[in-house]
Amino acid sequence: MSGPEGMRDAAAAGRFALQRCTACGRAQYPPREVCAACLSDRLAWQVAEALPGVLLARTVLHHSHEERFRPRLPLGIGLVRLAAGPVVLCFAPVPRTIGDAVQVRAALDETGTPVLTAR
């Protein structure tokens, strides 16, 4: 599994599945068909309760093009660099300063899509 479906099973159990190349060891996000570094297609899921990272930037959305998000505005969104390497876009409900350490967890949203949240 190389798409978001790989993340879905883990997220259903409240766990974060990060894609990692078994050939060169590099982690990547969003999930891809091949490793962006060495082009191997031998990709595996590294599953964790939560992954540590550092907040790179945060925004508060006051507008969304998608109707289902409008009742949830204003909505905190963050960019987090995982200690494992990749940068993830995620919900960031708690106001934080750039450079703060955070933990990123995964869950399924109401549509069954895996989503990440940093706290």
Q: Give the footprint of another protein on this chain (CB under 8 A).
A: 3-4, 29-31, 36, 56-66, 68-69, 72-73, 75, 77-79, 81, 87-91, 98, 109, 111, 113-115
Encoded tokens for 101:
């350490």
Encoded tokens for 46:
């590294």
Nearer to another protein, 13 or 57 (CB): 57
Minimum distance from CB of 12 to another protein (Å)? 15
The separation between CA 92 and the C-alpha centre of its own chain, rounded to angstroms, equals 11
Cα angle for residues 21, 9, 29 (degrees, 5° grid)? 35
Minimum distance from CB of 55 to another protein (Å)? 10
Encoded tokens for 26:
């590099």
Minimum distance from CB of 47 to another protein (Å)? 18
Containing H/E element for 37?
none
Nearer to another protein, 15 or 81 (CB): 81
